[in-house]
Amino acid sequence: MAEIVLGVGGGIAAYKACELVRRFSEAGHRVRVVPTEAALRFVGAPTWEALSGQPVATDVWSDAHEVPHVQLGRTAELVVVAPATADLLAKAATGAADDLLTNTLLTARCPVLFAPAMHTEMWEHPATVANVATLRARGAVVVEPAVGRLTGPDTGKGRLPEPAELFALATRLLARPDQRPDLTGRRVVVTAGGTREPLDPVRFLGNRSSGRQGYALARTAVARGATVQVVAANVDLPDPAGAEVLRVETTEQLRTATLAAARQADVVVMAAAPCDFRPAEVSAEKIKKDASGRLELSLVATPDIAAELGVAKPSGQVLVAFAAETATGPAALANARAKLAAKRADLIVLNEVGGGEGRQDPFGSDYNAATVLAADGATTVLPRATKEELADAIWDLVKPLLGSA
Protein backbone atom coordinates (compact mmCIF):
# COMPACT_ATOMS: atom_id res chain seq x y z
CA MET A 1 0.00 0.00 0.00
CA ALA A 2 1.35 3.40 -0.98
CA GLU A 3 0.61 6.87 0.35
CA ILE A 4 -0.69 8.90 -2.60
CA VAL A 5 -1.60 12.57 -2.77
CA LEU A 6 -4.05 13.37 -5.55
CA GLY A 7 -4.09 17.05 -6.38
CA VAL A 8 -7.11 18.26 -8.33
CA GLY A 9 -7.06 21.50 -10.28
CA GLY A 10 -10.00 23.70 -11.14
CA GLY A 11 -11.00 22.39 -14.53
CA ILE A 12 -14.06 20.62 -15.91
CA ALA A 13 -12.04 17.38 -16.04
CA ALA A 14 -12.00 17.32 -12.21
CA TYR A 15 -14.89 14.87 -12.33
CA LYS A 16 -12.63 12.29 -14.00
CA ALA A 17 -10.35 12.33 -10.96
CA CYS A 18 -13.15 10.62 -9.01
CA GLU A 19 -12.49 7.42 -10.95
CA LEU A 20 -8.78 7.81 -10.31
CA VAL A 21 -9.43 7.90 -6.55
CA ARG A 22 -11.53 4.76 -6.83
CA ARG A 23 -8.84 2.90 -8.78
CA PHE A 24 -6.12 3.85 -6.29
CA SER A 25 -8.30 2.83 -3.36
CA GLU A 26 -9.33 -0.48 -4.90
CA ALA A 27 -5.65 -1.25 -5.51
CA GLY A 28 -5.06 -0.89 -1.76
CA HIS A 29 -3.45 2.55 -1.74
CA ARG A 30 -4.22 5.28 0.78
CA VAL A 31 -5.30 8.40 -1.11
CA ARG A 32 -5.43 11.95 0.24
CA VAL A 33 -7.26 14.28 -2.16
CA VAL A 34 -6.00 17.87 -2.10
CA PRO A 35 -8.17 20.03 -4.36
CA THR A 36 -7.80 23.69 -5.12
CA GLU A 37 -10.60 26.06 -4.18
CA ALA A 38 -11.53 26.24 -7.86
CA ALA A 39 -11.71 22.43 -8.07
CA LEU A 40 -14.38 22.41 -5.35
CA ARG A 41 -16.63 24.39 -7.69
CA PHE A 42 -16.71 21.29 -9.93
CA VAL A 43 -16.64 18.46 -7.36
CA GLY A 44 -17.48 19.10 -3.70
CA ALA A 45 -15.44 18.05 -0.68
CA PRO A 46 -18.01 15.42 0.50
CA THR A 47 -17.49 13.50 -2.75
CA TRP A 48 -13.73 13.39 -2.31
CA GLU A 49 -14.03 12.42 1.35
CA ALA A 50 -16.53 9.65 0.60
CA LEU A 51 -14.36 8.20 -2.18
CA SER A 52 -11.05 8.42 -0.31
CA GLY A 53 -12.12 7.98 3.31
CA GLN A 54 -9.81 10.89 4.13
CA PRO A 55 -10.49 14.52 5.11
CA VAL A 56 -10.26 17.20 2.46
CA ALA A 57 -8.74 20.64 2.88
CA THR A 58 -7.58 23.32 0.47
CA ASP A 59 -5.68 25.66 2.81
CA VAL A 60 -2.79 25.33 5.25
CA TRP A 61 -4.89 26.45 8.25
CA SER A 62 -7.06 23.36 8.63
CA ASP A 63 -5.59 21.03 11.30
CA ALA A 64 -2.66 23.43 11.58
CA HIS A 65 -1.25 21.54 14.56
CA GLU A 66 -0.46 18.64 12.20
CA VAL A 67 1.43 20.99 9.82
CA PRO A 68 -0.28 19.41 6.78
CA HIS A 69 1.52 21.57 4.22
CA VAL A 70 4.76 19.85 5.25
CA GLN A 71 3.61 16.42 6.38
CA LEU A 72 1.63 15.54 3.26
CA GLY A 73 4.62 16.04 0.99
CA ARG A 74 7.01 14.28 3.34
CA THR A 75 4.91 11.13 3.67
CA ALA A 76 3.70 10.87 0.07
CA GLU A 77 5.14 8.11 -2.09
CA LEU A 78 3.54 9.58 -5.20
CA VAL A 79 1.88 12.89 -6.01
CA VAL A 80 -0.53 12.96 -8.96
CA VAL A 81 -2.06 16.23 -10.15
CA ALA A 82 -5.06 15.55 -12.40
CA PRO A 83 -6.26 17.71 -13.93
CA ALA A 84 -3.30 20.07 -13.86
CA THR A 85 -4.52 23.45 -15.10
CA ALA A 86 -2.32 26.08 -16.75
CA ASP A 87 -2.49 28.04 -13.50
CA LEU A 88 -1.31 25.08 -11.42
CA LEU A 89 1.55 24.34 -13.80
CA ALA A 90 2.64 27.98 -13.59
CA LYS A 91 2.55 27.96 -9.80
CA ALA A 92 4.45 24.68 -9.59
CA ALA A 93 7.11 25.90 -12.02
CA THR A 94 7.69 29.16 -10.17
CA GLY A 95 7.48 27.70 -6.67
CA ALA A 96 4.38 29.64 -5.65
CA ALA A 97 2.78 28.25 -2.49
CA ASP A 98 -0.57 29.89 -1.79
CA ASP A 99 -2.65 26.84 -0.85
CA LEU A 100 -2.26 23.31 0.51
CA LEU A 101 -1.62 21.68 -2.88
CA THR A 102 1.15 24.04 -3.99
CA ASN A 103 2.79 23.78 -0.56
CA THR A 104 2.65 19.99 -0.82
CA LEU A 105 4.30 20.11 -4.24
CA LEU A 106 7.22 22.05 -2.73
CA THR A 107 7.75 19.58 0.12
CA ALA A 108 7.28 16.35 -1.86
CA ARG A 109 10.43 14.35 -2.54
CA CYS A 110 8.68 11.46 -4.29
CA PRO A 111 7.76 11.03 -7.97
CA VAL A 112 5.35 13.72 -9.17
CA LEU A 113 3.00 13.21 -12.12
CA PHE A 114 1.17 16.11 -13.75
CA ALA A 115 -1.72 15.33 -16.12
CA PRO A 116 -2.56 18.65 -17.83
CA ALA A 117 -6.03 19.49 -19.10
CA MET A 118 -6.91 22.81 -20.71
CA HIS A 119 -7.87 24.36 -24.02
CA THR A 120 -5.42 23.88 -26.88
CA GLU A 121 -4.46 27.55 -27.02
CA MET A 122 -3.54 27.51 -23.32
CA TRP A 123 -1.47 24.33 -23.69
CA GLU A 124 0.41 25.74 -26.69
CA HIS A 125 1.03 29.19 -25.17
CA PRO A 126 4.78 29.90 -24.74
CA ALA A 127 4.32 30.44 -21.00
CA THR A 128 2.81 26.98 -20.53
CA VAL A 129 5.43 25.42 -22.81
CA ALA A 130 8.18 27.00 -20.70
CA ASN A 131 6.56 25.93 -17.42
CA VAL A 132 6.24 22.34 -18.61
CA ALA A 133 9.87 22.30 -19.72
CA THR A 134 10.93 23.61 -16.30
CA LEU A 135 8.96 20.96 -14.43
CA ARG A 136 10.32 18.18 -16.63
CA ALA A 137 13.87 19.42 -16.15
CA ARG A 138 13.34 19.16 -12.38
CA GLY A 139 12.33 15.52 -12.65
CA ALA A 140 8.53 15.71 -12.76
CA VAL A 141 6.61 13.65 -15.30
CA VAL A 142 4.29 15.93 -17.27
CA VAL A 143 2.24 13.85 -19.70
CA GLU A 144 1.02 15.19 -23.00
CA PRO A 145 -2.73 15.87 -23.02
CA ALA A 146 -4.99 13.74 -25.17
CA VAL A 147 -6.67 14.98 -28.33
CA GLY A 148 -10.46 15.07 -28.32
CA ARG A 149 -13.56 16.93 -27.24
CA LEU A 150 -12.92 19.81 -24.87
CA THR A 151 -15.53 22.06 -23.24
CA GLY A 152 -18.33 23.40 -25.40
CA PRO A 153 -17.98 22.68 -29.11
CA ASP A 154 -14.17 22.77 -29.07
CA THR A 155 -11.99 19.85 -30.08
CA GLY A 156 -8.21 19.61 -29.95
CA LYS A 157 -5.21 18.80 -27.81
CA GLY A 158 -5.85 19.47 -24.14
CA ARG A 159 -8.13 16.67 -22.99
CA LEU A 160 -7.30 14.78 -19.78
CA PRO A 161 -6.13 11.23 -20.57
CA GLU A 162 -8.50 8.51 -19.44
CA PRO A 163 -8.29 7.66 -15.71
CA ALA A 164 -7.52 3.98 -16.38
CA GLU A 165 -4.43 4.94 -18.37
CA LEU A 166 -3.35 7.54 -15.80
CA PHE A 167 -3.67 4.85 -13.14
CA ALA A 168 -1.49 2.51 -15.21
CA LEU A 169 1.09 5.27 -15.63
CA ALA A 170 1.05 6.02 -11.90
CA THR A 171 1.55 2.33 -11.17
CA ARG A 172 4.75 2.36 -13.23
CA LEU A 173 6.03 5.37 -11.25
CA LEU A 174 5.31 3.55 -7.98
CA ALA A 175 7.28 0.57 -9.30
CA ARG A 176 10.38 2.78 -9.69
CA PRO A 177 10.18 5.13 -6.68
CA ASP A 178 13.89 5.94 -6.51
CA GLN A 179 14.42 6.49 -10.23
CA ARG A 180 14.36 9.86 -11.93
CA PRO A 181 12.71 9.99 -15.38
CA ASP A 182 15.78 8.87 -17.33
CA LEU A 183 14.27 9.35 -20.80
CA THR A 184 13.37 13.02 -20.34
CA GLY A 185 14.08 14.92 -23.54
CA ARG A 186 14.13 11.76 -25.66
CA ARG A 187 11.80 11.22 -28.60
CA VAL A 188 10.61 7.64 -28.89
CA VAL A 189 8.67 5.90 -31.65
CA VAL A 190 7.00 2.58 -30.87
CA THR A 191 5.09 0.46 -33.37
CA ALA A 192 2.40 -1.87 -32.07
CA GLY A 193 -0.19 -4.37 -33.22
CA GLY A 194 -0.47 -6.41 -36.39
CA THR A 195 -1.03 -5.23 -39.93
CA ARG A 196 -3.83 -6.46 -42.17
CA GLU A 197 -3.54 -6.98 -45.92
CA PRO A 198 -6.90 -6.87 -47.72
CA LEU A 199 -7.95 -9.82 -49.84
CA ASP A 200 -11.38 -8.48 -50.76
CA PRO A 201 -13.73 -5.90 -49.20
CA VAL A 202 -14.45 -8.13 -46.18
CA ARG A 203 -11.42 -10.41 -45.77
CA PHE A 204 -7.77 -9.84 -44.97
CA LEU A 205 -4.53 -11.61 -44.15
CA GLY A 206 -3.34 -10.79 -40.64
CA ASN A 207 -1.78 -12.11 -37.47
CA ARG A 208 -2.54 -12.48 -33.78
CA SER A 209 -0.59 -9.52 -32.40
CA SER A 210 -2.71 -7.54 -29.91
CA GLY A 211 -0.40 -4.54 -29.49
CA ARG A 212 -0.20 -5.03 -25.71
CA GLN A 213 3.60 -5.23 -25.59
CA GLY A 214 4.00 -2.17 -27.81
CA TYR A 215 1.56 -0.20 -25.68
CA ALA A 216 3.38 -1.30 -22.53
CA LEU A 217 6.63 -0.02 -24.04
CA ALA A 218 4.94 3.29 -24.84
CA ARG A 219 3.39 3.60 -21.37
CA THR A 220 6.66 2.89 -19.56
CA ALA A 221 8.57 5.30 -21.82
CA VAL A 222 6.11 8.07 -20.91
CA ALA A 223 6.58 7.23 -17.21
CA ARG A 224 10.32 7.62 -17.74
CA GLY A 225 9.86 11.08 -19.26
CA ALA A 226 10.03 10.42 -22.99
CA THR A 227 7.99 12.08 -25.70
CA VAL A 228 6.30 9.08 -27.27
CA GLN A 229 4.67 8.50 -30.64
CA VAL A 230 2.90 5.19 -31.25
CA VAL A 231 2.17 3.83 -34.71
CA ALA A 232 -0.66 1.41 -34.00
CA ALA A 233 -1.78 -1.21 -36.49
CA ASN A 234 -5.29 -2.46 -35.71
CA VAL A 235 -4.96 -2.16 -31.94
CA ASP A 236 -8.17 -2.30 -29.91
CA LEU A 237 -6.77 -0.79 -26.69
CA PRO A 238 -7.12 2.62 -24.99
CA ASP A 239 -4.42 5.10 -25.99
CA PRO A 240 -1.53 5.11 -23.50
CA ALA A 241 -1.69 8.29 -21.42
CA GLY A 242 0.71 10.92 -22.71
CA ALA A 243 1.48 9.21 -26.04
CA GLU A 244 0.47 10.40 -29.49
CA VAL A 245 -1.14 7.54 -31.40
CA LEU A 246 -1.17 7.25 -35.20
CA ARG A 247 -3.50 4.52 -36.48
CA VAL A 248 -2.72 2.46 -39.58
CA GLU A 249 -3.97 -0.77 -41.14
CA THR A 250 -1.64 -2.17 -43.79
CA THR A 251 2.09 -2.81 -43.81
CA GLU A 252 2.63 -0.05 -46.36
CA GLN A 253 0.76 2.41 -44.15
CA LEU A 254 2.85 1.28 -41.18
CA ARG A 255 6.00 1.75 -43.23
CA THR A 256 5.06 5.28 -44.36
CA ALA A 257 4.09 6.47 -40.87
CA THR A 258 7.07 4.86 -39.12
CA LEU A 259 9.70 6.14 -41.55
CA ALA A 260 8.32 9.66 -41.20
CA ALA A 261 8.19 9.52 -37.40
CA ALA A 262 11.63 7.94 -37.11
CA ARG A 263 13.40 10.91 -38.70
CA GLN A 264 13.25 12.88 -35.43
CA ALA A 265 13.45 9.93 -33.01
CA ASP A 266 16.18 8.98 -30.57
CA VAL A 267 14.78 5.45 -30.28
CA VAL A 268 12.62 3.39 -32.63
CA VAL A 269 11.08 0.20 -31.26
CA MET A 270 9.54 -2.09 -33.88
CA ALA A 271 7.18 -4.02 -31.62
CA ALA A 272 4.48 -4.33 -34.29
CA ALA A 273 4.01 -7.53 -36.28
CA PRO A 274 3.83 -6.56 -39.96
CA CYS A 275 2.48 -9.18 -42.35
CA ASP A 276 5.35 -10.64 -44.35
CA PHE A 277 3.15 -11.16 -47.41
CA ARG A 278 0.14 -9.55 -49.07
CA PRO A 279 -2.15 -10.72 -51.86
CA ALA A 280 -0.79 -9.86 -55.30
CA GLU A 281 -4.28 -8.76 -56.28
CA VAL A 282 -7.18 -7.45 -54.20
CA SER A 283 -10.65 -8.38 -55.40
CA ALA A 284 -13.07 -5.48 -55.74
CA GLU A 285 -15.91 -7.79 -54.70
CA LYS A 286 -16.29 -10.47 -52.06
CA ILE A 287 -14.76 -13.70 -53.32
CA LYS A 288 -17.38 -16.43 -53.63
CA LYS A 289 -16.96 -20.15 -53.09
CA ASP A 290 -17.07 -22.23 -56.24
CA ALA A 291 -17.69 -25.90 -56.94
CA SER A 292 -14.00 -26.78 -56.56
CA GLY A 293 -13.98 -25.77 -52.89
CA ARG A 294 -10.51 -24.32 -53.40
CA LEU A 295 -9.01 -20.85 -53.54
CA GLU A 296 -5.50 -20.24 -54.78
CA LEU A 297 -3.79 -17.02 -53.76
CA SER A 298 -0.73 -15.39 -55.21
CA LEU A 299 1.24 -13.57 -52.51
CA VAL A 300 4.06 -11.05 -52.72
CA ALA A 301 6.47 -10.00 -49.98
CA THR A 302 5.87 -6.78 -48.04
CA PRO A 303 8.69 -4.33 -47.23
CA ASP A 304 11.02 -5.12 -44.32
CA ILE A 305 10.45 -1.91 -42.36
CA ALA A 306 13.00 -2.61 -39.64
CA ALA A 307 15.72 -3.33 -42.23
CA GLU A 308 14.85 -0.10 -44.01
CA LEU A 309 15.15 1.79 -40.73
CA GLY A 310 18.49 0.10 -40.08
CA VAL A 311 19.90 1.30 -43.40
CA ALA A 312 18.65 4.86 -42.88
CA LYS A 313 19.44 5.03 -39.15
CA PRO A 314 21.07 8.36 -38.26
CA SER A 315 24.06 8.50 -35.95
CA GLY A 316 23.07 8.05 -32.31
CA GLN A 317 19.62 6.59 -32.97
CA VAL A 318 18.84 3.27 -31.27
CA LEU A 319 16.83 0.68 -33.22
CA VAL A 320 15.08 -2.15 -31.37
CA ALA A 321 13.64 -4.96 -33.47
CA PHE A 322 11.40 -7.85 -32.43
CA ALA A 323 11.51 -11.48 -33.55
CA ALA A 324 8.62 -13.89 -33.01
CA GLU A 325 9.89 -17.44 -33.42
CA THR A 326 8.08 -20.77 -33.24
CA ALA A 327 11.48 -22.45 -33.10
CA THR A 328 12.95 -23.05 -29.65
CA GLY A 329 16.32 -22.95 -27.93
CA PRO A 330 19.45 -22.59 -30.10
CA ALA A 331 17.43 -22.53 -33.33
CA ALA A 332 15.36 -19.57 -32.13
CA LEU A 333 18.49 -17.74 -30.97
CA ALA A 334 20.21 -18.35 -34.31
CA ASN A 335 17.22 -17.01 -36.23
CA ALA A 336 17.06 -13.93 -34.01
CA ARG A 337 20.78 -13.23 -34.36
CA ALA A 338 20.48 -13.44 -38.14
CA LYS A 339 17.59 -10.94 -38.05
CA LEU A 340 19.55 -8.65 -35.72
CA ALA A 341 22.39 -8.48 -38.27
CA ALA A 342 20.16 -8.24 -41.33
CA LYS A 343 18.16 -5.35 -39.89
CA ARG A 344 21.26 -3.55 -38.52
CA ALA A 345 19.44 -3.21 -35.20
CA ASP A 346 21.05 -2.42 -31.87
CA LEU A 347 18.83 -4.84 -29.96
CA ILE A 348 16.39 -7.56 -30.94
CA VAL A 349 13.75 -8.92 -28.59
CA LEU A 350 13.14 -12.63 -29.15
CA ASN A 351 9.71 -14.02 -28.28
CA GLU A 352 9.16 -17.76 -28.57
CA VAL A 353 5.52 -17.93 -29.63
CA GLY A 354 2.84 -20.43 -30.51
CA GLY A 355 2.38 -22.10 -27.14
CA GLY A 356 3.88 -25.55 -27.42
CA GLU A 357 5.53 -27.67 -24.80
CA GLY A 358 6.23 -25.73 -21.60
CA ARG A 359 5.67 -22.32 -23.22
CA GLN A 360 3.20 -19.53 -22.54
CA ASP A 361 1.97 -17.94 -25.75
CA PRO A 362 2.30 -14.14 -25.30
CA PHE A 363 -0.30 -13.14 -27.92
CA GLY A 364 -3.15 -11.31 -26.21
CA SER A 365 -1.70 -11.98 -22.75
CA ASP A 366 -0.75 -9.46 -20.09
CA TYR A 367 2.47 -11.44 -19.51
CA ASN A 368 5.53 -12.13 -21.60
CA ALA A 369 9.05 -13.52 -21.47
CA ALA A 370 11.87 -12.68 -23.84
CA THR A 371 15.54 -12.93 -24.66
CA VAL A 372 17.21 -9.70 -25.77
CA LEU A 373 20.21 -9.95 -28.09
CA ALA A 374 22.51 -6.98 -28.58
CA ALA A 375 24.65 -6.05 -31.56
CA ASP A 376 27.74 -6.31 -29.36
CA GLY A 377 26.98 -9.99 -28.69
CA ALA A 378 25.41 -9.62 -25.22
CA THR A 379 22.41 -11.78 -24.32
CA THR A 380 19.89 -10.88 -21.62
CA VAL A 381 17.18 -13.31 -20.55
CA LEU A 382 14.02 -11.61 -19.30
CA PRO A 383 11.88 -14.09 -17.32
CA ARG A 384 8.10 -14.17 -17.52
CA ALA A 385 6.62 -10.98 -16.05
CA THR A 386 3.94 -8.45 -16.84
CA LYS A 387 4.43 -6.73 -20.16
CA GLU A 388 4.97 -3.42 -18.33
CA GLU A 389 7.76 -4.99 -16.24
CA LEU A 390 9.28 -6.49 -19.38
CA ALA A 391 9.06 -3.10 -21.10
CA ASP A 392 10.94 -1.41 -18.24
CA ALA A 393 13.64 -4.07 -18.51
CA ILE A 394 13.97 -3.36 -22.25
CA TRP A 395 14.29 0.39 -21.60
CA ASP A 396 17.00 -0.41 -19.04
CA LEU A 397 18.94 -2.04 -21.89
CA VAL A 398 18.25 0.84 -24.31
CA LYS A 399 19.31 3.62 -21.93
CA PRO A 400 23.11 2.86 -21.96
CA LEU A 401 23.05 2.89 -25.77
CA LEU A 402 21.86 6.49 -25.87
CA GLY A 403 24.43 9.27 -25.96
CA SER A 404 24.15 12.38 -23.83
CA ALA A 405 20.90 14.29 -24.29
Which residues are catalytic, by number? 207
Task: Characterise 270 by phi-psi region: left (phi > 0), alpha (psi -120 to 50), beta (else).
Answer: beta
Contact 192, 230 (CB under 8 A): yes
The neighbour count for residue 298, using CB atoms within 10 Å, is 8
Element (H, E) at 192: strand 187-193
Sequence letter at residue 190: V
* Long-range Cβ pairs for the range 248-255 (8 Å, 24+): 248/195, 249/195, 249/196, 250/195, 250/196, 250/197, 250/198, 250/278, 251/195, 251/197, 251/275, 251/278, 251/302, 251/303, 251/305, 252/302, 252/303, 253/195, 254/191, 254/195, 254/305, 255/303, 255/305, 255/308
Phi, psi of 49 (to 5 degrees): -65, -40
Peptide bond into 400 cis (omega under 30): no
Pairing of strands 347-352, 367-374: antiparallel
Contact 85, 64 (CB under 8 A): no
CA angle 160, 106, 169 (to 5 degrees): 35
Among 71, 32, 66, 61, smallest CA distance to 49 is for 32
Counting Cβ atoms within 10 Å, is residue 262 exposed (0-12), middle (13-18) or buried (19+)? buried
The SS3 of residue 240 is coil
How far is C-alpha 128 from the chain's CA centre? 22
Contact 16, 47 (CB under 8 A): no
Among 39, 63, 58, smallest CA distance to 103 is for 58
Among 379, 137, 98, smallest CA distance to 397 is for 379
Task: Characterise 67 by phi-psi region: left (phi > 0), alpha (psi -120 to 50), beta (else).
Answer: left
